[in-house]
Structure 1
Amino acid sequence: MSHSAHPAGPSHGYPLPTVEPVIAPPDLTVLNPRIWSANVGRQGSEVAVAGLPASQLAAEHGTPLFVLDTEDLRQRARTYATAFTGGDVYYAGKAFLCTTVARLLAEEGLGIDVCTSGELAVALRAGVDPQRLALHGNNKSVAELRLAVESGVGRIVLDSHTEIDRLAQLAAEAGVRQRVLIRVTVGVEAHTHAFIATAHEDQKFGFSLAAGQAAAAAARVVGHPQLELVGLHSHIGSQIFDTGGFEVAAHRVVGLLAKIRDEHGLELPEIDLGGGQGIAYVDGDDPQPAAEVAARLRKIVERECEMAGLAVPRLSVEPGRAIIGPSMLTLYEVGTVKPVVLDGGTVRNYVSVDGGMSDNIRTALYAADYTVVLANRISDAPPQLSRVVGKHCESGDIVVRDCWLPADLAPGDLLAVAATGAYCFAMSSNYNRIPRPPVVAVTGSRSEVIVRRETLEQLMANDVGWSAADQLAASPVGGVDG
């Protein structure tokens, strides 16, 4: 499956087609190395992470359970840092962020892109050099901007004229000159899902290039001596498997660089092309290696700068999914298996697990595809068309929409869902008052909890209730019903 890019148009609103597997794979035990992390394999009959079998991990930590292959994560971070030597790699914290991950990525030479005070606080607590942080967001509050300025955040990406003036005032109050980039919407969108395509004009992020807003924003920043304009930022979407969209985006961003030079005598030293590099979720997904992505992006920027008569700026990217996504899997325990007869007599097993849309909303939100396997044993039973669903009171609570699992799947079995490192825990919720799962890091055949499982007590901690006097006062008849 290939995700291309094209000039923005009405097609960004069309849903992606869903494809139901009509032919069962020949072997349900195979673990495609493009999809699973490097240290996931079979140990005897079980799926294991760095030698730790699924049943052991579930017994020690319970389910649902996010399992992070830390060596795989380090290797992916190193690969990106090496590929973009001479530039900057900012890990997109929105994909998944905790102090352990932030510290690990910083150790491997990556910066971190944060977009809220919470993400900024995590990175600072992890000891990440503030100069290696970039702050994004379309509605940064005064408090968030002040925290960023006072913490010494290296780059703030500006998203509105209001924010430009607000940040200039805060920088003046702090007595600093804050380095900033302008986020530019370039009229190119990733041809993925409408909700993760972010560079078409009709959306909340950035300054429109076509409408002249980006050039006006640059002039406004230049007029504030408290702000140092160091570059331009563009982001065209997520889960992209080719560089066609980046080529168009770079052409347009470099054109604005030339315009700023001509109008203000200022040649900006940086260009950030954002993230969006895709990963393999299912067989047939074909992501590009980091080195290949870097080489192509450099070639594109160099060519455009040569044509515009500009020095080649320092190149930055913000891969989040491409680094953390494949490094994590989720373990679930099967609760029920319900066969449902479809039109034409086909039987689909509805396999209910002990998690669902509260720990992975992406299937419901984006019609995302995932790979799932039986993790605690190998079965000789024939494959059965299946749908893995959660325990929430919602018909759209689906983890894996269409898959093949052994026909003898039973309550108590464990399922492993691959590539859940990005936007699963990060977008988790307490829907139906279900506590969030823990995250366990596995390194060298040892597991360690890095994010604790929430408890019912923690869920109730913020539910302060009403006092008896409040209840009496609130009653429409002057007393408590019942």
Structure 2
Amino acid sequence: MSTSIPFEECQDKASPNKNIAPLTAELDDAKRLVVGGCRLSHLAEEYGTPLYVLDELTIRKSCRAYKEAMDKHYKGESLPLYASKANSSLALSSIISSEGMGIDVVSEGELITAIRGGVPSQNIVFHGNNKSKCELNLAYQNGSIIVIDNQNDIELLKDIASQNIKKARLMLRFTPGIECHTHEYIKTGRIDSKFGFDPDELEDIFVQFKEIKWGELIGLHAHIGSQIFELQPHIDLVEVMVNALELGKSYGHSLEKLNIGGGLGVKYVSSDDPPSIANWIEVISKEVCVACEKRSLKLPLLMCEPGRSIVATAGLTLYRIGAKKNIPGIKTYVSVDGGMSDNPRPITYESLYSACLVDRPLAQSEGKVTVAGKHCESGDVLLKDFSLPNCKTGEVLSVFGTGAYNFSMSSNYNRIPKPAAIIVANGKSELIQRRELPEDLLRYDILPDRFIQNIS
């Protein structure tokens, strides 16, 4: 019989973000780890390592949790959007679209990925604090919603849209000035944020847009951060946003959409305890309804932008263990064949993860080790002082919760190729992103003719 892996004694299948491992994670009869019906050590053999693995069922359950919670708890219309910066691919865009969600993008690359992945243009929201004219033109021509972040956006769009009959569909982003307990680098709602207009600029912007004929303000947007475990900051955010909504309507703007951003946290380690998706949506929905009723405002179409809480738990990364180094009385290093190029979050944010040996997940720990990457940086550490059984060179290690901000933030540091990515479901695996080869890293290199004579 299959059993739950040890750190998932009470899986919350209704809210994937409250789990460390994908919802389909189980042990086979030989006590080896299986996800999506696929044995992980077999996947490592077939596709090589490092390897990104995404569990399709967990992604779909996450999407449905948002959709069902908004349908249940919000009295008006709603549309959850997937924040594709967390992990962007044609396959993910297709899944998101098939689950009835929209998508938010912040670059031309993310935009064309969403379009070619089948996301309806009207359900694409284009963000960014320094959009190029080319990017804005693509979003405008595609009919996507464009989030105005600053005056530069307005000036560039004026040149684009004023030459056409079609009005640009615009949302206005502002900084709500709300503090939340998350990492310094992922707080985006404070007054000194690089994103959005300051609150005291809103009235002037509403006045300015009364004279604009090429675009229509259809909504407001704000975002307060990422990996948030508290509900109160979002309660405070709703009050600030509905006040701004009322102000904008007083100047004649329709503002029929309210986008409260994302930021719901996920469980990376056993001590993490994020709110459930349903609880997060219920609290926000209630606050929006109460705030609008108090001001006699029609309920706007409610949007949110989850990214991490859609894909983080669905993902894991497989590594093969290589060299080991024991410094008696001090530390033991276990090195793997990846590291900061495929997961920059530990060195960037001091992020914590859970992990286990895929064919011996129940083996007892024999002490703490530091799991290090292969890059030429002392700080290239994936797991610091981590309890792990005595492992052998060649064994496969699974690091959980890597579905968000791993592939999308990956690099070719030390000219190391990026890993392949696969999706698993019902006992089958499919490639969704090819593994780079060392030769691929030379594709855009150009050797000037005058250097060729130096090559023997």
Would the TM-score normalized by the shorter structure come out above 0.5?
A: yes
The aligned residue for residue 331 of structure 1 is 318
The aligned residue for residue 297 of structure 2 is 310
Q: Which segments of 5 or more consecutive residues in structure 2 lack a partner in the other structure?
A: 12-18, 72-76
The aligned residue for residue 88 of structure 2 is 97
The aligned residue for residue 363 of structure 1 is 346
Partner SS, residue 174 of structure 1? coil
Counterpart Cα distance in 1 of 2:101 and 2:88: 13
Deviation at 1:165, TM superposition (A): 2.3
The aligned residue for residue 182 of structure 1 is 172
Q: What is the 5 A alignment of 1:392-403?
A: 392-403=375-386
Q: Which amino acid aligns with 1:304?
A: A
Q: Which amino acid aligns with 1:332?
A: Y
Answer yes or no: is 1:405 the counterpart of 2:414.
no
Percent sequence identity over matched residues? 39
TM-score normalised by length of structure 1: 0.87
Deviation at 1:377, TM superposition (A): 2.5
Q: 1:380 to 1:399 in 2, by over 3 A?
A: closer
Q: Which amino acid aligns with 2:54?
A: L
Counterpart Cα distance in 2 of 1:381 and 1:121: 47
Q: How many residues align structurally?
A: 438
The aligned residue for residue 201 of structure 1 is 191
The aligned residue for residue 279 of structure 2 is 292
Indicate conservation of the 8 Å contact 1:31/1:41, yes or no.
no
Equivalent residue for 1:67, pick from 53, 58, 64: 53
Q: What is the 5 A alignment of 1:229-378?
A: 229-262=217-250, 264-341=251-328, 345=329, 347-378=330-361
Q: 1:150 to 1:380 in 2, by over 3 A?
A: closer
Deviations 1:127-167 (A, max 9, x none): 211111000000110000001111121x1111011211221
Indicate conservation of the 8 Å contact 1:164/1:220, yes or no.
no
The aligned residue for residue 74 of structure 2 is none
Indicate conservation of the 8 Å contact 1:336/1:410, yes or no.
no
Q: 1:466 to 1:363 in 2, by over 3 A?
A: same
Deviations 1:25-59 (A, max 9, x none): xxx96142421111112122321112211210011
Q: Which amino acid aligns with 2:143?
A: G
Equivalent residue for 1:424, pick from 395, 406, 417: 406
Q: Which amino acid aligns with 2:6?
A: V
Counterpart Cα distance in 1 of 2:162 and 2:189: 32
The aligned residue for residue 23 of structure 2 is 38
Q: Which amino acid aligns with 1:72?
A: T
Indicate conservation of the 8 Å contact 1:222/1:228, yes or no.
no
The aligned residue for residue 224 of structure 1 is 212
Equivalent residue for 1:171, pick from 158, 161, 165: 161
The aligned residue for residue 116 of structure 1 is 107
Counterpart Cα distance in 2 of 1:324 and 1:207: 30
TM-score normalised by length of structure 2: 0.92
Counterpart Cα distance in 1 of 2:95 and 2:377: 37
Moved more, 44-53 or 321-330: 44-53
Q: 1:379 to 1:290 in 2, by over 3 A?
A: closer
Deviations 1:431-478 (A, max 9, x none): 00000001011111111110000011111111111213x678xxxxxx
Counterpart Cα distance in 2 of 1:379 and 1:445: 22
The aligned residue for residue 459 of structure 1 is 441
Deviations 1:65-86 (A, max 9, x none): 0001011111111111121223
Counterpart Cα distance in 1 of 2:361 and 2:110: 41
Deviation at 1:380, TM superposition (A): 4.8
Q: Cα RMSD between the aligned structures?
A: 1.8
Q: 1:156 to 1:378 in 2, by over 3 A?
A: closer
